[in-house]
Structure 1
Amino acid sequence: MKNLIKLTALVLLVTACDDVLSPATENIRGLDAMYKEPGYAQGILANAYILLPYSASPTTDVATDDAVSNNIDNAFLRMASGSWSANDDPTSQWQGRKNAIQYLNLFLANADQVAWSNDKTIRMLFNDRLKGEAYGLRALQMYHLLVAHGGWTQDGQLLGVPIVNEPETPTSNFNKPRNTFQECIDQILSDAEQALELLPLDYKKFSQSDIPERYKSIEGITATQYERVNGEHMRGRISGRIVEAIRAQAALLAASPAYRAGTNITWAAAANYAAQVLNRIGGVSGLASNGGTWYTKDSGIEQLASGQTPSEILWRSDVAQSLDLERDNYPPSLFGNGRVNPSQNLVDAFPMANGYPITHASSGYNLNSPYNNRDPRLAKYIVVNESQQGPGTDVIVTGTYGTNNDAINREKGFSTRTGYYLRKLLRSDVNPNPAFNTTQKHYTARIRYTEIFLAYAEAANEAWGPTGTGPNSYAAYDVIRAIRQRAGITGGDAYLESVKNDQEQMRQLIRNERRLELCFENHRFRDIRRWQVGISQLNETARGVEISKSGNTLNYAPVNVETRNYQPHMYHGPIPYGEINKWSLLQQNAGW
């Protein structure tokens, strides 16, 4: 009887569903659906925004001389300690950037056929702007591919990645050789130029006189029409101003010591690309007064309208309520995990308040009170022993005499390993205490004007010397003076004045200012490699300090915390091992 019931049920099931043994029709729409559905078309472009290569956390800094992580499973800790390989590469951008470029190529190949509007003029304006976004985003994605994977091969070629400007299909030839680094730079510059022709400089309110020249010849086009497509409601998308900054970043990379022998980008060109961005804000006079603390409550973050940027920020992510950074990096007593521990190396890089390096005879540095009279940025960016952090008046004791897990090496995986905790990027009004879980507004600064100022200073110093201006109205010296004045350097900055006629000393000062201003923003790892510093500097041991107490006297003992194990070929990252195995025409960078 049981077998009869089973058989009957099976017969009914098979006969009732005549396609039960055939695959069901999948709910996958073809690309041609985008032609009549602009929302679908924009969704393809949106994927390239979703795949933007920016991080809110200081991930790569712990692989440099600036910091360590107290998480022994951290991928960058392992990398810096000797495990970096072509099949274990936490810096890889290969898949994410190539995925984004595929979406962008799909969009560009089909955008002209999309019915963006029934109005002919509006349709043209939408098509132009969105294609401009795609070109700009493709330049950005290629730039980050070059940062991670461009390099010299065993036979002495400086190569980039395969350039792909058409959407790939299952029948495409994927076995392509890498283009030269120069060809990839040329592609970035070409995409940037096309983007600049199509994009507004900024998304804003427009008057009739603001309409770009290329549209003024079109009879009847109005500011209202142009603003409908390019108005303030589009803020946050890539704009002409942002594309100019990406072009400046790419030019600086190409002109840098690790690449310049294989490109035709000069220091002068890199400086002028940066100057084009800076001149739009008045040059050195446009340096934001609170730009060094753009992430704090008093920076204006609370008042930002949708897509609006403060004067320091050229491009940012959306603002979001969170406490993730604070939970990760506050000391244990404040319910944090203390993840990123600034190094003594970085602490020592901050000068005195008078501008002199702590090693200089005129600095006034005192080994027995090492945090007194220092550059104010030190206290703003790093939690030192017996300083305050968090929403209350909590004093953080990192010395060995501390009574809780804030003390150095007190509890593995939570306590600091260096004697310091992170302050930069964190808001003091966040409270990760589970009883409160107080969140506050945060955003990722994708590109800051200070970065472009420092790019200009670096390139201008190399091109024209510390006080040379080239075709511009300001020199590297002027930029560094303004940045250090903003930081709070006092006494007329006698040290800067003493080096302003020495290109090598100015080079070292510019590099140090870049280190301080951009610390914990994922620049240091790429900077020290594109500068091709000596291998001993690349492998500089991350140091800390153990502070003990005898009566009322504090004793400071330097300690080695973490050794680095980089090899000479690691100035350039690898092509992923799996890609080399799949495609015979892909050449690996030397040493990998």
Structure 2
Amino acid sequence: MKRYLPALIAASLSLMGCADLLEPEVENLPGKEAMYKEVTFAQGFLLNGYTRLPGLSFNDVATDDAVSNDKNNAYLKIATGQWTANYNPTDQWVNSQAAIQYLNTMLAEVDKVTWATDPKAAQMFRDRIKGEAYGLRAFYMFQLLRAHGGWSNGGELLGVPILTQPQDMNSDFNQPRATFEACMKQFYSDIKQAEDLLPLDYEDVSTQAQVPTKYTGITAEEYTRVFGQYSRLRMTARIAKAIRAQAALLAASPAYKGGTTTTWTDAANYAGEVLKLMGGPSRLAANGGTWYDNRTEINGLGAGINPPEILWRGDAANSRNLEEDNYPPSLFGRGRINPTQNLVDAFPMANGYPITSSMSGYNPQAPYTGRDPRLQRYIITNGSTMGPSNSVVRTETGSGNDAVNQIETSTRTGYYLRKLLRADVNLNPIGINEQRHYTARIRYTELFLIYAEAANEAWGPDGQGSFGFSARDVIKAIRQRAGIGATNGDTYLNTIQSQADMRQLIRNERRLELCFEGFRFWDLRRWSEKLTEPANGIQITTGNYVVVPVETRAFAAHMNHGPIPYGEMLKWKALVQNKGW
């Protein structure tokens, strides 16, 4: 039989077409032109901009606020001397540039797509898609400027290459970095486009009077089809305004002074505009400080609705990842993020005075008594309770696996993370469960703190601009919500009169309110301060509390600004590296 096999194979080949058998099949991948008639495919170019939105980074580990017991933590590595242009966990070059490429393609092709058979609906869809793309493109420009903007050896503040058209194989990829100022102008232009094209929020309308005048002749039903609540969680004009305030705060800060025309007044006005829309300090969400563990509120979220504290968020979903990473080992967690003594010391006493003040009543041998209530809300200290059974966590020497450096998942500082965790998550294998979480992309508290910082720099502690509230008013509202000064009217705040003293208080409130949400790493850099502050912990033995060094910080002065990726520098001669890298 074997001698006939070659003949059988040959016959088979003659019956099958050689082209089909021996030539590769044409890949069934749609080209760009497919988007013109396939709306779902077309939207994919826009949705790519949403899927690339960054999540939690815990870059606090590279600051004086936290360390990690994970020796492979990328932020631990850069904090201790391994940050280079070739190793940069803060990099946004690839992710943001890729997002911008997809968004540019969407903007270039959006008018060719058949969004709806009805011309009026099609125009509204075009407007919305364009508005979202412009808003997202501005967001990614902000990400790029924060991560890669910096001073050149020639003394010029540079941003990134400005790309507003899709690139293809015929494009010139060897593009120089534009100035930081030029990038900010492009950013502001994109934000303005988003504001003009998008509604303030996505809401269903029921009457003709609720339809914007620019859509005269459009019925309430037609308008709702495009701009109704079905589109919630996408980019809106309100979100675009908030992103403008974030970027303006960056540009106005000391590390960028002299390289941009954006001022503190600009930043205050942009933040104030958003806050005025929501009602000012009197509308600060009462439960906003614990947004991550407001269980009834979170469990009841539906249809893209935002809690009062949240301006922009991600989808809510069941998980236990944060708790698995950060619960103490006694609660079956890995204890990854360890708050520092530096951060603990930043929390004032409940009477509002810093613990360094003679008026505070602070007792170093009872360091957690009478403190700012936020300390226990955000950090697990020795004797705190945590978890669904309110288990006591002991970190003093000899107390078990939760004590300092007992096992590889123990704390290194004497503290564990509480913020962002839901205490009703159970990791015990006998009754393990998940709970609903969401990512807060922009909180109103952040906007209030942007306003407070910028307003103080522009107009002093009590200047109100055109908004009717001052930096002092904002900080008072935040501290009152926290439970500060309930018995004395926050006399410490009332004693602050100078711009410099208010600056320090605002920066400290920002540190506390936004801890572990990815802000301090960038804040220290834009303020040009405290990059090398050592991370400290606490050693507790038989009631004695001793502050101990845990980890040093190895940042050089030029690391106020991140590098351009080393690989990009090798590829493109037109790029200029930031000074020091």
Question: Which residue number corresponds to residue 235 of structure 1?
Answer: 232
Q: How does 1:203-242 map to 2 (within 5 A)?
A: 203-206=202-205, 207-216=207-216, 220-242=217-239
Give the SS at the match of 1:294: helix
- Corresponding position: 1:509 with 2:505: yes
1:290–1:299 contact (8 Å) kept in structure 2:
no
1:453 alignment partner, one of 418, 441, 448: 448
Give the SS at the match of 2:193: helix
Give the SS at the match of 2:292: coil
Identity over the aligned pairs, expressed in percent? Answer: 58
TM-score (norm 1): 0.96
1:530 alignment partner, one of 521, 526, 529: 526
**Offset, 1:386:** 1.0
- Corresponding position: 1:345 with 2:334: no
Tell me: CA distance 1:63–1:8, structure 2 relative to 1, closer, same or farther (3 Å).
same
Residue segments in structure 1 that go unaligned for 5+ positions in a row: none
Question: Which residue number corresponds to residue 138 of structure 1?
Answer: 137
Give the SS at the match of 2:430: coil
Question: Which residue number corresponds to residue 48 of structure 1?
Answer: 49
Q: How does 1:237-386 map to 2 (within 5 A)?
A: 237-298=234-295, 300-386=297-383
**Offset, 1:290:** 0.6
Give the SS at the match of 1:295: helix
Give the SS at the match of 1:280: helix
Question: Which residue number corresponds to residue 88 of structure 2?
Answer: 89
**Offset, 1:238:** 0.9
1:569 alignment partner, one of 554, 558, 569: 558
Tell me: CA distance 1:3–1:189, structure 2 relative to 1, closer, same or farther (3 Å).
farther
- 1:380-414 CA-partner distances (Å, limit 9, x unpaired): 00000011010103110011120x211110012x0
Question: Which residue number corresponds to residue 171 of structure 1?
Answer: 170
2:201–2:238 contact (8 Å) kept in structure 1:
yes
Aligned residue identity for 2:470: A
**Offset, 1:8:** 4.0
**Offset, 1:10:** 6.0
Question: Which residue number corresponds to residue 411 of structure 2?
Answer: 416
Whole-angstrom distance in 1 between the partners of 2:510 and 2:397:
32
Whole-angstrom distance in 2 between the partners of 1:397 and 1:5:
77
Aligned residue identity for 1:506: M
Tell me: CA distance 1:214–1:374, structure 2 relative to 1, closer, same or farther (3 Å).
same
**Offset, 1:205:** 2.1
Aligned residue identity for 2:397: T
2:287–2:294 contact (8 Å) kept in structure 1:
no
2:327–2:333 contact (8 Å) kept in structure 1:
yes
Whole-angstrom distance in 1 between the partners of 2:467 and 2:261:
21
- Corresponding position: 1:427 with 2:428: no
Aligned residue identity for 1:423: R
- Corresponding position: 1:589 with 2:578: yes
**Offset, 1:430:** 0.2
Whole-angstrom distance in 2 between the partners of 1:406 and 1:9:
70
2:541 alignment partner, one of 537, 548, 553: 548
Whole-angstrom distance in 2 between the partners of 1:312 and 1:33:
41
Give the SS at the match of 1:268: helix
Whole-angstrom distance in 1 between the partners of 2:280 and 2:4:
88
Aligned residue identity for 1:43: G
Question: Which residue number corresponds to residue 497 of structure 1?
Answer: 494
Q: How does 1:479-494 map to 2 (within 5 A)?
A: 479-490=474-485, 491-494=488-491
Aligned residue identity for 1:18: C
Question: Which residue number corresponds to residue 189 of structure 1?
Answer: 188
**Offset, 1:215:** 2.0
1:94–1:145 contact (8 Å) kept in structure 2:
yes
Give the SS at the match of 1:447: strand
**Offset, 1:436:** 2.3
Whole-angstrom distance in 1 between the partners of 2:382 and 2:123:
60
Whole-angstrom distance in 1 between the partners of 2:223 and 2:490:
48
Give the SS at the match of 2:67: strand
Whole-angstrom distance in 2 between the partners of 1:178 and 1:477:
39
Give the SS at the match of 2:406: coil
**Offset, 1:5:** 2.3
Question: Which residue number corresponds to residue 123 of structure 1?
Answer: 122
- 1:483-536 CA-partner distances (Å, limit 9, x unpaired): 00000012211111111x210000000000000000000000000000111xxx
2:268–2:452 contact (8 Å) kept in structure 1:
yes
Question: Which residue number corresponds to residue 398 of structure 2?
Answer: 401
Give the SS at the match of 2:22: coil
Whole-angstrom distance in 2 between the partners of 1:234 and 1:179:
34
Aligned residue identity for 1:542: A
Question: Which residue number corresponds to residue 532 of structure 2?
Answer: 539
Give the SS at the match of 1:509: helix
**Offset, 1:212:** 2.1
Whole-angstrom distance in 2 between the partners of 1:591 and 1:373:
45
Tell me: CA distance 1:353–1:9, structure 2 relative to 1, closer, same or farther (3 Å).
same
Aligned residue identity for 2:532: N
Whole-angstrom distance in 2 between the partners of 1:212 and 1:10:
72
- 1:232-281 CA-partner distances (Å, limit 9, x unpaired): 11111111110000011111111011112100011001100000100011
1:328–1:339 contact (8 Å) kept in structure 2:
yes
Whole-angstrom distance in 2 between the partners of 1:436 and 1:384:
25
TM-score (norm 2): 0.98
- 1:184-227 CA-partner distances (Å, limit 9, x unpaired): 111111001001111010011223222223223xxx21222111
Aligned residue identity for 2:135: G
Question: Which residue number corresponds to residue 467 of structure 1?
Answer: 462
1:205–1:231 contact (8 Å) kept in structure 2:
yes
Tell me: CA distance 1:10–1:308, structure 2 relative to 1, closer, same or farther (3 Å).
farther
Give the SS at the match of 1:300: helix
Count the aligned residue pairs: 577
1:544–1:559 contact (8 Å) kept in structure 2:
yes
**Offset, 1:30:** 1.2
- 1:531-571 CA-partner distances (Å, limit 9, x unpaired): 111xxx2111100001111xxxx111111000000001100
Question: Which residue number corresponds to residue 37 of structure 1?
Answer: 38
Question: Which residue number corresponds to residue 162 of structure 1?
Answer: 161
Whole-angstrom distance in 2 between the partners of 1:362 and 1:146:
42
